[in-house]
Amino acid sequence: MRSGARGYVLKARDAEHLIQTVRLVAGGNMVIDPQLVVALAEELSQAKERDRKAETLTAREIEVLQLLAFGHTNRDIAERLYISPDTVKTHLEHIFEKLGASDRTAAVAEALRRRLIE
């Protein structure tokens, strides 16, 4: 839309719907496929939930994230924070869930994006 598009139709739509959309756009209207609107609304809702969860990161989880960002292993993190490697693993599981991340790299990237760590 930023590039000047006046309509967006999902490719799974039938030809009749496509023709109707082209006519509406040619008439000066802006058209966005209702299924896309629903998908975007769901994504926004999920993003809000992830943001809410990220706000609940504990100070210790942020410490773990910061050390993770510097490339430390679970064992390194455990030694630096005087906790067991199993506790580090538990913190990481909570961090992944709260940030919607599937691995260490994704967690650090998301934390940086949200400015939770530097």
pTM value > 0.85: no
CA distances from 5 to 22, 25, 39, 59, 84 (A): 12, 9, 19, 45, 55
CATH code of the domain occupying 49-113: 1.10.10.10
Q: What is the DSSP letter of 4?
A: S
Higher pLDDT, 11 or 23: 23
Residue 53: band (very low, low, confident or very high) from pLDDT cuts 50, 70, 90: low
Inform me whether the pLDDT recorded for 20 exceeds 80.
Answer: yes
| Distance separating alpha carbons of residues 113 and 111, to the nearest angstrom | 5
Please list the residues that pair with 16 across neighbouring strands: none
Residue 46: band (very low, low, confident or very high) from pLDDT cuts 50, 70, 90: confident
**Domain-wise residue ranges, the chain:** 7-32, 49-113
The H-assigned helical ranges of 1-118 are 15-26, 34-54, 59-69, 74-81, 85-99, 104-113
pLDDT digits (tens, 9 = 90+) for 54-96: 578 999 999 999 999 999 999 999 999 999 999 999 999 999 9
